[in-house]
């Protein structure tokens, strides 16, 4: 005790405080029954005051710490709710008050893991922690809680609840988007593979056959020449020229399918005009109205191919499914976004009832249209109902600086137009929109 006093004095503590402390220590020290009788009356009063103040301070701290805290008191084999703080009231929408005195064995009847934590904390006198999904026993709200149990002698267990629901939700959203990404990249790979198959079939069916015919023709010409039948050989060469021309056209068509060179050479506006003209030529019974209300440089480079693919698929669908007489195409820009719309007056359909995953037979389909739009930072809306026509609207929001920065488009799945039509000499290397039937 002498040591204490010296240490305290060197720390410059107030003499009164030292006295009060000393008195308190003596009073509470076990096995010193005579301490009280030895203590002067004034010292004892001061000590009591000091203890009261310190208890009050603790109580206020408990009440106002921003961590929801619940105090459980040991009762028989069980624990009961003995106290709680303001943060706990807030977490439970004030309903904790109705549960004062509630038993742990009842509250956590279905959570033996939590009951086990109580016991472990109490018997081993140590801090126990657990993160767990938890439905609050007060307002039944579903949460994710990090519990910390602390033993407070002689018979209390203090439980801090940290509501980590937002963090867990963010983690879950992250996982979800990772799963989504994996799913999408698997789909992309599958689509790319599908596309290669289609290309291979295309090359085999058209170019392959044409080249075989040309080779056969060349061989027969050689035969004719070796027999000195020059006139007939000349006729054969002439007859072979249309096949060669068809082959050239077919190659151009395939290249256009892969990526229309006009898009890179002349831009999206010229490509749309050209595509509409071609469409009009093939589907004379469908009137095409076109409204372009922006300049070439308003459209970010990465968006051009996306717009072209949407138009390709949209117009093919109009030709294939709608029975429309009029289709309106508009591409424009306002303060918020670049907008593309394809609207027809055809028979329409129920977008909700549409089978989600039909086997693709060419084009990119509605699903592909949506994916392409979203990949490039936009949104796609399909408005349709039986008998009410169809409107497909894509919008790519502009950034505040009014320069759209869509994410780059992924390697094109379904890079092609639907099933090719047989080459028609003279039709030029137009977009192959599908013929009906």
* Cβ-based neighbours of 206, under 8 Å, separated by 6 or more: 247, 250, 254, 420, 423
Which listed range, 23-31, 115-123, 364-372, 382-390, lies at the site for Mg ion (CB under 5 A)? 364-372
Q: Which one of Mg ion, ligand ADP, none is in contact with 53 (Cβ closer than 5 to 8 A by kind)?
A: none
Output the furthest CA–CA distance in the chain (Å, rounded).
Answer: 145
Residue 322 within binding range of Mg ion, rule CB under 5 A: no
Q: Which one of Mg ion, ligand ADP, none is in contact with 290 (Cβ closer than 5 to 8 A by kind)?
A: none
Helix axes 165-202, 230-258, angle to 10 degrees: 170
Task: Compose the 79-118 pattern: x for residues touching Mg ion by CB under 5 A, - for all others.
Answer: ----------------------------------------
| Residue in the block written with tokens 């809680």 | 145
Sheet holding 69-75, edge to edge: 78-84, 69-75, 156-163, 142-152, 128-135
Question: How far apart are CB 434 and ligand ADP at their closest, in Å?
Answer: 9
Distance CA 135, CA 108 (A): 10
For residue 305, give both structure tokens: 């191919």
Residue 317 within binding range of Mg ion, rule CB under 5 A: yes
Question: How far apart are CB 341 and ligand ADP at their closest, in Å?
Answer: 12
Question: How far apart are CB 84 and ligand ADP at their closest, in Å?
Answer: 57
| Residue in the block written with tokens 């003596």 | 26
Q: Which is nearer to Mg ion, 269 or 366 (CB)?
A: 366
Q: Which is nearer to ligand ADP, 69 or 384 (CB)?
A: 384
Distance CA 175, CA 171 (A): 6
Task: Residue 165: name the closest of 140, 188, 139, 146 by CA.
Answer: 146
Residue 310 within binding range of ligand ADP, rule CB under 6 A: no
Which listed range, 39-47, 239-247, 278-286, 319-327, lies at the site for ligand ADP (CB under 6 A)? 319-327
3-state helix, strand, coil in the chain (%, to 5): 55, 20, 30
Residue 317 within binding range of ligand ADP, rule CB under 6 A: yes
Residue 390 within binding range of ligand ADP, rule CB under 6 A: yes
* Residue ranges in contact with ligand ADP by CB under 6 A: 317-318, 320-322, 344, 346-349, 354, 358, 361, 365-366, 390
């Amino acid at each position: 005790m002498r040591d204490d006093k010296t240490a305290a004095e060197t720390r410059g503590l107030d003499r009164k405080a030292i006295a009060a402390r000393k008195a308190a220590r003596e009073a509470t020290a076990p096995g010193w029954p005579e301490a009280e009788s030895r203590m002067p009356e004034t010292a004892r009063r001061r000590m009591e005051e000091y203890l009261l103040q310190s208890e009050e301070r603790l109580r206020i701290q408990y009440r106002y710490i921003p961590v929801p805290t619940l105090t459980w008191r040991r009762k028989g084999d069980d624990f009961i709710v003995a106290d709680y703080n303001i943060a706990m009231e807030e977490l439970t929408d004030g309903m904790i008050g109705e549960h004062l005195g509630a038993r742990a064995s009842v509250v956590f009847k279905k959570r033996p893991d939590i009951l086990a934590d109580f016991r472990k904390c109490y018997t081993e006198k140590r801090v126990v922690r657990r993160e767990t999904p938890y439905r609050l026993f007060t307002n039944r709200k579903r949460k994710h809680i990090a519990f910390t149990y602390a033993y407070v002698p002689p018979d209390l267990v203090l439980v801090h609840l940290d509501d980590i629901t937002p963090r867990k939700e963010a983690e879950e959203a992250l996982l979800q988007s990772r799963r989504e990404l994996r799913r999408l990249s698997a789909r992309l790979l599958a689509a790319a593979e599908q596309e290669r198959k289609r290309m291979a079939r295309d090359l085999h069916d058209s170019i392959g056959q044409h080249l075989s015919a040309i080779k056969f023709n060349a061989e027969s010409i050689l035969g004719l020449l070796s027999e000195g039948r020059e006139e007939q050989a000349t006729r054969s060469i002439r007859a072979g020229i249309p096949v060669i021309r068809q082959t050239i056209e077919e190659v151009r068509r395939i290249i256009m399918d892969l990526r229309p060179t006009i898009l890179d050479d002349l831009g999206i506006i010229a490509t749309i005009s050209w595509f509409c003209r071609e469409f009009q030529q093939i589907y004379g019974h469908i009137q095409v109205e076109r409204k372009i209300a922006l300049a070439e440089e308003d459209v970010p480079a990465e968006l051009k191919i996306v717009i072209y693919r949407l138009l390709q698929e949209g117009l093919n669908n109009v030709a294939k499914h709608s029975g429309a007489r009029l289709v309106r195409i508009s591409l424009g820009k306002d303060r918020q976004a670049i907008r593309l719309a394809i609207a027809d007056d055809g028979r329409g359909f129920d977008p909700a009832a549409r089978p989600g995953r039909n086997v693709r037979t060419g084009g990119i389909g509605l699903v592909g249209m949506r994916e392409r739009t979203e990949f490039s930072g936009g949104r796609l809306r399909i408005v349709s109902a039986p008998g009410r026509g169809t409107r497909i609207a894509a919008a790519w929001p502009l950034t505040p600086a009014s320069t759209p920065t869509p994410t780059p488009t992924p390697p094109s799945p379904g890079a092609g137009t639907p099933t090719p039509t047989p080459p028609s000499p003279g039709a030029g290397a137009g977009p192959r929109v599908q013929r009906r039937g």
